């Protein structure tokens, strides 16, 4: 009887802890393995995301045509056509040469007396122009015009009436050697109209 009891106790001691250890090991291993796999998957996903982001191409806009950085000269010809009603057209021409990116200025002014009934009036034609030459052959011009002529109707004007003055300031793009009408203005007093045409030619 004592022998059986001892054997049962020994068997319980040997079997119980071993079974518990085996069960704990299986649970721990399963939990550890699952946690480790999840961590690896997360890191792989982040790494892949970083790699994809690094490979995203950068969209670059096409470069705008740059101005040629040299001392190209540009001949600028400006023609003003002045007409009142059906009378013949009066034309005034201004020509100048300016280097790329520099100002060219022409000043022509004076004082005139339209008739004996009127006083003296200022007359003049002033033109400022600055060309920019681009690689595609385009010439951009900054242009300012002040035009105050002694027109034909001024001779018959009353003492209180003065000739109409034209002031314009603009920036236009031209093809080398091709004229372009850049403005058409109407006289607020009469049926007179003033047309301005510009041509820019790159000199080789």
- Report residue 162's pLDDT band, with 50, 70 and 90 as the boundaries: low
pLDDT of 17 above 60 = no
Average pLDDT over the chain, rounded to an integer: 73
d(CA 120, CA 71): 44
Q: What is the pLDDT of residue 54?
A: 54
pLDDT in tens, 167-177: 999 999 999 99
Residue 97: how many CB atoms within 10 A of its CB?
A: 12
Alpha helices in the chain (DSSP H): 2-54
Report CA-CA distances (Å) from 183 to 23, 92, 144, 200.
97, 15, 12, 16
Which tokens hold the place of 81?
Answer: 């056509």
pLDDT (mean) for 90-100 = 94
Q: Could you tell me the pTM of the whole model?
A: 0.60
Q: Whole-angstrom Cα distance, residue 166 to residue 88?
A: 19
Give the model's pLDDT for residue 34.
45
**Own/partner long-range contacts of 49-56 (Cβ < 8 Å, ≥24 apart):** none
Q: How far apart are the first and last CA of the chain?
A: 127
Q: What is the pLDDT of residues 171-196, one digit of tens each?
A: 999 999 999 999 998 877 778 889 99
**What confidence tier does 29 reach under pLDDT thresholds 50, 70, 90?**
very low
Q: How many residues in the chain?
A: 204
Domain spans, the chain: 1-60, 73-203
């Amino acid at each position: 009887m004592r022998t059986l009891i001892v054997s049962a106790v020994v068997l319980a001691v040997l079997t119980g802890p071993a079974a518990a250890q085996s069960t704990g090991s299986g649970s721990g291993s399963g939990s550890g393995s699952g946690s480790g796999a999840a961590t690896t998957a997360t890191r792989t996903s982040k790494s892949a995301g970083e790699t994809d982001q690094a490979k995203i191409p950068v969209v670059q806009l096409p470069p705008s045509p740059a101005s040629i950085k040299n001392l190209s000269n540009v001949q600028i010809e400006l023609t003003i056509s002045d007409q009142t009603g059906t009378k013949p057209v009066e034309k005034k021409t201004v020509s100048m040469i300016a280097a790329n990116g520099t100002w060219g200025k022409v000043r022509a002014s004076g004082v005139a007396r339209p008739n004996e009934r009127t006083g003296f009036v200022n007359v003049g034609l002033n033109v400022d122009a600055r060309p920019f030459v681009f690689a595609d052959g385009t010439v951009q011009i900054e242009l300012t015009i002040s035009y105050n002529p002694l027109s034909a109707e001024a001779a018959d004007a009353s003492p209180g009436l003065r000739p109409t003055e034209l002031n314009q300031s603009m920036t236009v793009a031209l093809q080398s050697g091709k004229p372009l009408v850049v403005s058409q203005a109407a006289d607020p007093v009469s049926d007179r109209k003033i047309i301005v045409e510009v041509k820019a030619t790159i000199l080789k």
